[in-house]
Structure 1
């Protein structure tokens, strides 16, 4: 994964993409970024400014969603261990009677 650019660099790239003086491919090559960045970044910037009212997730919401998904994956192995432990204890209770 490439190193993240500074907020100033991103703002400048968005401004240049919005000007539309150069094709996006040329602009991306000059800035040394991927072609999708000048296409996606202005829309993401708009979503951040509008607070997510445009139907797109803001950067903060995307970060939170990624964190929640990461946390959501963690309980699955823990639940599996608890299920096995419960089954083991249940077997012991049945055998004792």
Structure 2
């Protein structure tokens, strides 16, 4: 039952938004812009979410992921993706992890 609720939440039923489509319509250049008074760009947030998603998936598989020594390791330095390909790959990585 808990698994069903989790799946429904991730895939956007009831009051939830489908997490797999949250980045649709946002191009790679827009994703690199840091809005005023925001500490991170969408690119940085996506990269950070992927870092921890990969960490938790490894942990759930029984692996022993390395804990970062510093929080900075979990964020990309550059607020912008280097290319459109990098952006697409990170969005696909996020969706695959769901």
TM-score with structure 1 setting the length:
0.28
The structure that is helix-richer by fraction is 1
Structure with higher Rg: it is 1
Answer 1 or 2: higher relative contact order, Cα 8 Å, separation at least 6: 2
